[in-house]
A and B are shown apart, each in its own frame.
Chain A
Amino acid sequence: MMQSVGIYIHIPYCRTICPYCDFVRRGIPGEVPEVFIEALCREITAFEGPDRAESVFFGGGTPSLLAPSALRVVMEALRQRFQINSPEITLEANPDDVTPELADTWQDLGVNRMSLGVQSFDDDTLRYLGRRHDDAVARRACEVVRERFANWSMDLIFGAPPVESWVDTLETCRRFNPLHVSAYGLTYEDRTPFARRKDESVDDETYLRLFWQTEEVLSEFVHYEVSNLARPGYACRHNLIYWQNLEYAGFGPAAYSFLDGVRSRNLVNTDAYLRNPGAKAEALRLSDEEIRVETVIQHLRLRDGLFLEDYAQRFGRSVYADFSAETAELVERGLVEEHVGALRPTRRGFEMNNEIGLALVHPQRVSAAKR
């Protein structure tokens, strides 16, 4: 029997482009074009690999731009190709796309988890971020989603001016009471219009204050990953696949897959993708060692960290055999601690998470050949 995987579907279209965003997407005025849906279905149907899936995640771009008929066709194609048992099916939505009717259809089509791109409940902040919606629209969308979906998540961004709006946003979020919250520190990414505004970014102290404020206000939540919080038992199953470095299949332009030790990426340019869905822009076979390194690094983004037993079972050796010096250094620097059979990040380990990765990688060992 084949492994089961997580499925990611990338919808590369947005109504408008947010100036801080570095996702692969383009602006379109109307609905997601038919040709795209066709290409996507072709890719899904032709997929060679595992037959079972445990999660589906519609991300983007803006999946809420999918017409109900389009979503139906894609879901159809997925069910044809994969056996999807008690799945988590998430759809990302922008607040201004959400209507009661649309939300009903999503539910009818099998979506059982919503991820709502609220970002903030403060109008000034939303304007700074260049979002389409305002506070009122965000609240209305939350209402609609909350009434229909037991399991829903809210995406929020901190660190955008006015910086102090963050507490209010968190309080409002708490009142809407989603089961899951993603709280991202605003990053002024290169190759975005925000790259030139790096000097507007908050200083490290402020960033960290806001970062920790999140779990203080959302006190009933578990801060289970650097940027994610959930009510107990409601961590995002799909995203956990990434953090546990398990297998997933990505469909749509620029989507990544990790199957059978190969990390691959679809053609990035949407037009190129439309001509040749499923063709790879890159495919890298990872060495066992690279997989081990990535596995440890990814787990150490999680509050619970890496269970020593899990590692031993998966790789047939102990973490300490592979990373003795590295883990000792990280413990010594107070970034990682051992806690009831697991290696997990400390609070400093969250704040300085990249330092953990830096300690664990081995640059001198030659990486795997391109396929």
Chain B
Amino acid sequence: MSAPNERIRTFCIIAHVDHGKSTLADRILQVTGAVEERKLREQTLDTMDIERERGITIKAVAVRLHYRAENGGDYVLNLIDTPGHVDFSYEVSRSLAACEGALLLVDAAQGVEAQTLANAYKAIDQDLEIIPVINKIDLPSADVESARRQIHDLVGLNAQEAILASAKEGIGTQTILEAIIRRIPPPKGDREAPLRALIFDAVYDSYRGVIVYVRIVDGRVTKGMKVLMMFNGLRYEVDEVGVFSPEITATDILEAGEVGYVICNIKTLRSTKVGDTITDALKPAAEPLPGYEEVQPVVFCGMYPAVANDYEELRNALEKLQLNDASFQYQADKSDALGLGFRLGFLGLLHMEIIQERLEREFDLTLVTTVPNVAYQIRLKSGERLTIENASKMPPSNLIEEVAEPYIEAEIICPTEYMSGVIELCKKKRGVHVRVDYIDSKRCLAIYQMPLAEIVLDFYDRLKSCTRGYGSLEYRLIGYRPGELVKLDILLNGEAVDALSSIVHRDRAEWVGRTLASKLRTLIPRQQYEIAIQAAIGNRILVRETIKALRKNVTAKCYGGDITRKRKLLEKQKEGKKRMKQIGAVEVPQEAFMALLRVNDGAER
């Protein structure tokens, strides 16, 4: 039997990256006994290999917990741990929509940062009850009072009620749990109304097919029930329902207010849509739930299988992965240089990296990825308008009237002493100054408008380095603005390589072209024949570099034991070659397609 509504609390943990969300989740799992002591490790809920290696949360994770409150009542808690990195803010939005409340964590040493604000505002927009928690009070550099002030002044919450905690040392966990019971409202859903369940996530399991994660808003769902997906009109019979404890565990029923999963016999991945509403097929609800706003990818790149035969496999992998991460988009694409592949859109560079890594790891693919770019809006002299997400698709310049690029408004928070460096950086990145506010005596908030393309490339890393890691960034799109933009081509042995084209600002084109060509010279290994690399704008060749032919590659001595050692060495080398793409007679390594990202490494101009 399910717990009655008033005994259920559903909340997520939100914060800026690294403020301790997953660690606090560990303490809550521990106190509620949800996970055996011996199975508890640091950031237990970060289960993906990539998450553990990088020490960050990528996917939001839901768990169901049992808690006996101080008032003696037994409660069911649904906790959702969310990621903090800006690229995954879509995960936060989706999680918030399934909750009645949120714990807003603030690192006592760092204070309020850019994603603290962004995520808090999202929760406020959704009318959630927010419980501020000041975490990491065990740190010697913790400044509880200033964190409190910032929560009040910047976020606009009642900071007197902020709970002091150390997720690491387990301080404050009990207080947090009690506050959840006291302050977060129980779900309001009507269990007797027709079923309405919000699909907030889904995964593909090779044994069980699609598993949809749901928040039951109204009604109930049981095994054997006939259900209807309201968005796409497909009908299914429910095979199993259950909860996350934290492993998926079958139950008889899920009722309004509960968070769990549903397995129906969903065969095609495309028939599941995160944000869709599941209802009773026999007694459908009148209105679906609001669902989710479609996310707009901001960064695009091409991904091609290193081995052409893997194209279908890549398509399959993308389909499965998208189910688990609806925030990236893809469509089939063809490159002259790289063959059949896909054009993908992402929420940011880290997002792109993660998707590539997941495709390679979870689906055992080897991919060649092209340098990321933003979308451009082009107005032709004929009056026609088009949007391109791929530099190689740019029409010839004589047909173009105007090229516009996306702009963002960036909010950058950093300690006052680094502000001049940040302003310098923004200027370099073609930023337009809006204003700088002093948050308190120690920190500033700078607002700049700048081309998204500049942020995409390396802004975040540079911001981190010019603020010694203390700068944080949040941005939102504010529309397109025309600019002096040109297409920069790279030619290998006289042939333009579409996958190496980029769109750059006219003032920097020459410099970028030169730097890129010389970067490529170091990245493309010497081969049996000489290779000419040229950078060009239209018909104008900016620079020519040559990679001399490999004249000699021979091991002088090869006797008894050297044989197997040599074979292994050659095998390793050849394995590396798998990541190379044959373009004409030239073998081009994966890094070459990313060379543009590294153009800024060196000194500028």
- Are B555's CB and A353's CB within 8 A? yes
The digit string for A345-371, where 1 denotes a CB below 8 A from any CB of B, is: 000001111110110111110010000
* Complex interface: chain B residues within 8 A of A355 (CB): 528, 553
- Are A363's CB and B553's CB within 8 A? no
* Complex interface: chain A residues within 8 A of B560 (CB): 8, 242, 248, 250, 255-258
- Are B528's CB and A352's CB within 8 A? yes
For window 526-585 of B, CB contacts with A under 8 Å fall at: 528, 550-561, 563-564, 566-568, 570-575, 577-578
Partner of A284, one of B551, B564, B566, B572: B564
Which residue in chain A gives the minimum CB-CB distance to B554?
A: A353
* Complex interface: chain A residues within 8 A of B552 (CB): 204, 207-208, 351-352
Q: Give complex CA distance A81, B142 in Å.
A: 77
A119 to chain B, nearest CB (A): 13
Give the interface SS of chain A, mostly helix, strand, loop or mixed: mixed
- Are A358's CB and B574's CB within 8 A? yes
Q: Contacts A363-B572, A363-B575, A363-B578; is A286 near B564 (CB within 8 Å)?
A: yes
Partner of B561, one of A185, A243, A265, A361: A265
* Complex interface: chain B residues within 8 A of A254 (CB): 561
B570 to chain A, nearest CB (A): 5
Flag whether A219 is at the interface (Cβ < 8 A): no
- Are B567's CB and A294's CB within 8 A? yes
Q: Give complex CA distance A207, B571 in Å.
A: 26
* Complex interface: chain B residues within 8 A of A362 (CB): 571, 574
The digit string for A236-252, where 1 denotes a CB below 8 A from any CB of B, is: 00010011010010100
- Are A351's CB and B574's CB within 8 A? no
* Complex interface: chain B residues within 8 A of A293 (CB): 567
- Are A361's CB and B553's CB within 8 A? no
- Are A226's CB and B554's CB within 8 A? yes
- Are B567's CB and A351's CB within 8 A? no
- Are B570's CB and A227's CB within 8 A? no
* Complex interface: chain B residues within 8 A of A257 (CB): 560
* Complex interface: chain B residues within 8 A of A184 (CB): 556-557
Q: Contacts A227-B557, A248-B560, A256-B560; is A361 near B567 (CB within 8 Å)?
A: yes
Partner of A294, one of B550, B554, B563: B563
A336 to chain B, nearest CB (A): 13
* Complex interface: chain B residues within 8 A of A265 (CB): 561
A142 to chain B, nearest CB (A): 22
* Complex interface: chain A residues within 8 A of B567 (CB): 290, 293-294, 297, 357, 361
Q: Give complex CA distance A298, B557 in Å.
A: 11
* Complex interface: chain B residues within 8 A of A352 (CB): 528, 550, 552-554
* Complex interface: chain B residues within 8 A of A226 (CB): 554, 556, 558
Q: Give complex CA distance A353, B567 in Å.
A: 13
* Complex interface: chain B residues within 8 A of A245 (CB): 563
A202 to chain B, nearest CB (A): 10
A228 to chain B, nearest CB (A): 10
- Are A185's CB and B556's CB within 8 A? yes
Interface size on B, residues (CB 8 A): 26
* Complex interface: chain B residues within 8 A of A350 (CB): 554
A153 to chain B, nearest CB (A): 14
* Complex interface: chain B residues within 8 A of A113 (CB): none
Flag whether A151 is at the interface (Cβ < 8 A): no
Flag whether A198 is at the interface (Cβ < 8 A): no
- Are B563's CB and A361's CB within 8 A? no
- Are A256's CB and B556's CB within 8 A? no
Q: Contacts A294-B564, A363-B575; is A301 near B556 (CB within 8 Å)?
A: no
- Are A353's CB and B553's CB within 8 A? yes
Q: Give complex CA distance A8, B561 in Å.
A: 11
Flag whether A333 is at the interface (Cβ < 8 A): yes
* Complex interface: chain A residues within 8 A of B557 (CB): 184, 187, 227
- Are A298's CB and B554's CB within 8 A? no
* Complex interface: chain A residues within 8 A of B554 (CB): 185, 226, 350-354
* Complex interface: chain B residues within 8 A of A358 (CB): 570, 573-574, 577
Flag whether A205 is at the interface (Cβ < 8 A): yes
- Are B556's CB and A227's CB within 8 A? yes
Partner of B559, one of A187, A239, A286, A290: A239
- Are A354's CB and B564's CB within 8 A? no
A59 to chain B, nearest CB (A): 8
* Complex interface: chain B residues within 8 A of A367 (CB): 568, 571
Q: Give complex CA distance A362, B551 in Å.
A: 24
* Complex interface: chain A residues within 8 A of B558 (CB): 226, 242-243, 298, 301
Partner of A242, one of B556, B563, B572, B577: B563
Flag whether A231 is at the interface (Cβ < 8 A): no
Q: Give complex CA distance A284, B564 in Å.
A: 9
Which residue in chain B gives the minimum CB-CB distance to A243?
A: B558
Flag whether A263 is at the interface (Cβ < 8 A): yes
Q: Give complex CA distance A255, B577 in Å.
A: 32
Q: Contacts A263-B563, A284-B564, A333-B528; is A354 near B574 (CB within 8 Å)?
A: no
* Complex interface: chain B residues within 8 A of A290 (CB): 567
Partner of A204, one of B551, B572, B575: B551
B91 to chain A, nearest CB (A): 36
* Complex interface: chain A residues within 8 A of B528 (CB): 333, 352, 355
Q: Give complex CA distance A248, B559 in Å.
A: 11
Q: Give complex CA distance A293, B570 in Å.
A: 11
Which residue in chain A gives the minimum CB-CB distance to B577?
A: A358
For window 90-104 of B, CB contacts with A under 8 Å fall at: none
Residue among B551, B577, B578 having the largest count of chain A Cβ atoms under 10 Å: B551
Which residue in chain B gives the minimum CB-CB distance to A182?
A: B557
* Complex interface: chain A residues within 8 A of B559 (CB): 239, 242
Q: Contacts A293-B567, A297-B567; is A187 near B561 (CB within 8 Å)?
A: no
Residues of B within 8 A of A (CB): 528, 550-561, 563-564, 566-568, 570-575, 577-578
| CB pairs A–B below 8 angstroms (25 shown) | A8-B560, A187-B555, A187-B556, A187-B557, A204-B550, A207-B552, A208-B552, A226-B554, A227-B557, A239-B559, A242-B559, A245-B563, A256-B561, A263-B564, A265-B561, A297-B570, A301-B558, A350-B554, A352-B552, A352-B554, A353-B555, A357-B566, A360-B570, A361-B567, A364-B575
By Cβ-Cβ distance, the 3 closest A-B pairs, closest first, are A256-B561, A204-B551, A363-B571
